[in-house]
Amino acid sequence: MLSRIAESLFWIGRYVERADDTARLLDVQMQVLVEDPGLDEVAVCDQLLTVMGIEDFDGVPNRWSILKLLALDASSTSSIVAVIGGLREAARSTRETISTDIWSAINATWQGVPMATSMRPPEMFAWVRGRTAMITGIAEDTMPRDQGWYFYSLGRSLERADMTARILAAAASSGAQVAWSNTLRACSGYESFIRTYRGIEADRAAAEYMLLDRWFPRSVVSALMEAELALERLERSGRRAGFADEAQRLLGRARTELEYRPLGEIMDNLPFEMERIQRSCGTASDALTSRYFAQEEWHEWSGRVSL
């Protein structure tokens, strides 16, 4: 497969997941601020900027400036609007490879952005989640399970592990009693969590579920496992050892450090531990880029944790 096409498919997976998870993260934080008016709004917004890796914010943040930066501003590479633009560009560059249905869904999402940005925030977040779910479902149904699929799956899984780690860090840092319940709901995991833990609602149990549950597809461990599986299958499809092995080593170490350490050690400093996951995902992505993709800096990404 041409490296240009492989890279585009990898980034389609990343962009779809980034748009979805940014909407989920903003939904959580906006709900927390509404439901717990005693919170320090500036502190919560500052923490969200830190979680998203944004260090150069100008002024005093509030919920509306954060909404503009992370959702509405097309000039901000961190925003949902910009991510959808990047998704459409990545799809356009690999138009000869993806199905007509995938292209139509992505293009319709891009065309619907002006309408979505005029909605109330909760409605916009729901729209983004619905559109990304549609794109993901069409990809699942129409993409052959060849190298292209593995690159797409790899990008999506890496981004999901990274963004779930950010969502967990935001919930742990907010200090709000409703943060974990809202986080589970935003990640569509509240009902399955209640079934798994037999109705017990506790911060520690919620964090454990989103970190370690192998059956919950949005957990950090589940996403890392999917990324490792995609890498393994890419190697079987004809690639030789190289930077892909380094990516497997990084992701495997990150996963085992979560699975085989006492949960208490992780919970004692959850934001720091989630930053480690983000670093591992970022370094693994760099290794993949060096191994598989042409060195053309046409994708601009933000929110990376400093290495």
Where do the domains of the chain lie?
Answer: 3-292
Q: What is the pTM of this model?
A: 0.88
- Which string of DSSP letters, residue by residue, matches the chain? --HHHHHHHHHHHHHHHHHHHHHHHHHHHHHHHHH-TTS-HHHHHHHHHHHTT-----S---HHHHHIIIII-TT-TTSHHHHHHHHHHHHHHTTTTS-HHHHHHHHHHHHTHHHHTTS-HHHHHHHHHHHHHHHHHHHHHHS-SSHHHHHHHHHHHHHHHHHHHHHHHHHHHH--TTHHHHHHHHTT-HHHHHHHTTT---HHHHHHHHHH-TTSTTSHHHHHHHHHHHHHHHHHTT--SSHHHHHHHHHHHHHHHHHSS-HHHHHHTHHHHHHHHHHHHHHHHHHHHHHHS----------PPP-
Looking at residue 264, what is its pLDDT?
86
| pLDDT exceeds cutoff 80 at 200 | no
> pLDDT grade, residue 242 (50/70/90)?
very low
Q: What is the pLDDT of residues 32-62, one digit of tens each?
A: 888 888 888 888 888 888 888 887 788 889 9
> pLDDT grade, residue 241 (50/70/90)?
very low
| pLDDT exceeds cutoff 50 at 243 | no
Average pLDDT, the chain: 86
| pLDDT exceeds cutoff 80 at 239 | no
